[in-house]
Amino acid sequence: MYRLTSEQDVRAAQVRQLPALETLITDRHSILGLIGNTPLLRIRGDETHDVQSHVYAKAEWFNPGGSVKDRAALSMIRHALRTSLLTPGKALIDATSGNTGIAYAMIGSALGYRVVLALPGNATGERKQILRAFGAELLFTDPLTGTDGAQLHVKDLVAAHPDAYYYPDQYNNPENWKAHYETTALEIWQQTKGRVTHFVAGLGTTGTFVGTSRRLKELNPAITCIAVQPDSPLHGLEGLKHLATAIVPGIYDPGLADEQLTVSTEESYAEVRRLAREEGLFVGVSSGAASAASRMVGARERTAVVVTIFPDGGARYGSEHFWNQQEEV
């Protein structure tokens, strides 16, 4: 427990810590130094003699926290440390559907900061257990209000105790999308040798789509960027938002989307099972949605190089019922 007597003491402690924290974040032998540079995997799908498109996915479960959210969480925390928004004695608090919370908890554990998270009570048991393992304090909110309800709960807590918390506010923090502008997009460009023609990503906080699309369009304005959403307000695609009926994140830039596609929960579940049983890829439900949409684009365009994001692996959804369903023959 920190024993700091004044704001000046807090800032002095922060200044002393920063070099060590930067080393921990950038050292490839540190757990935090392993964030990013994920593999790009070929998705076979429907490739035929008539369809020459290639579909690829960034395997974001290779990040040490197990998801794409490691990138954004590190970017937001790093900025907060550099600008003294996060100081010794303050707890990091935010709303999450699970993955960003896990990233916060992992990074908080590595850097020695307390993490408090609000998440819907129906988050999978696997996610809750991982969060507890990293030492996060959990505040469960009404499942029916989703992450919107969790956001409102956090805002109320921060308003009541402004000096106790650092609130990154992942839905409105530009450091979220900047993480993908600075890393994810450049990795895609390098891994495809600039051949990418279409970028497809699901919308949750929208940071992945916004940051990656913005940089890819700077590199080649002809790249088509396609946003993917659930097809209805009531859906089972954890981590994704139906923006027409949700609180739209402040960082979202709809002008970046050349096209909007919707995917049903059933389509996503079926694609998750197909990827596991036909391609050896054990991925999460939002990855299923991204894969289904990307394969649709590839089949339609016929000669495209489509790149998408698989946000996480399937282990966080192992207790879900859909794994046991059989496909219609």
Query: In angstroms, what CA-CA distances link 230 with 144, 200, 203?
Result: 16, 14, 9
**Residue range(s) of every CATH 3.40.50.1100 domain in the chain:** 7-30+69-166, 35-63+181-324
> What was the pLDDT predicted at 122?
87
Could you tell me the pTM of the whole model? 0.90
Answer whether residue 124 shows pLDDT above 50. yes
Kindly indicate the confidence band of residue 2, based on its pLDDT and cuts at 50, 70 and 90. Answer: very low
pLDDT of residue 149 exceeding 90, the answer is: yes
* pLDDT for 326: 72
Q: What is the pLDDT of residues 154-174, one digit of tens each?
A: 999 999 999 999 999 999 999
Whether 4 has a pLDDT exceeding 50, the answer reads no
High-pLDDT (> 70) share of the chain, %: 91
Amino acid sitting at position 108? G
Ranges 3-17, 81-95, 220-234, most confident: 220-234
DSSP one-letter code for 208 = H
Instruction: Report the C-alpha gap between 188 and 308 in whole angstroms.
Output: 9
Q: How many CB atoms lie within 10 A of CB 251?
A: 21
3-state DSSP percent of the chain in helix, strand and coil, to 5: 50, 15, 35
Residue 1: pLDDT band by 50, 70, 90 thresholds? Answer: very low
Q: How far is it, in rounded angstroms, from Cα 280 to Cα 283? A: 9
Q: Indicate the CATH number for domain 7-30+69-166.
A: 3.40.50.1100
Q: Catalytic residue positions?
A: 69, 286
The pLDDT tens digits of the residues spanning 273-283 come to 999 999 999 99
Containing 225, the helix (H) or strand (E) segment is: strand 224-230
35-63+181-324: CATH, from 3.30.1540.10, 3.40.640.10, 3.40.50.1100, 3.20.20.80: 3.40.50.1100
Structure tokens at 294: 């990307």
Contact 105, 131 (CB under 8 A): yes
Q: How confident is the model at residue 98 (pLDDT cuts 50, 70, 90)?
A: confident
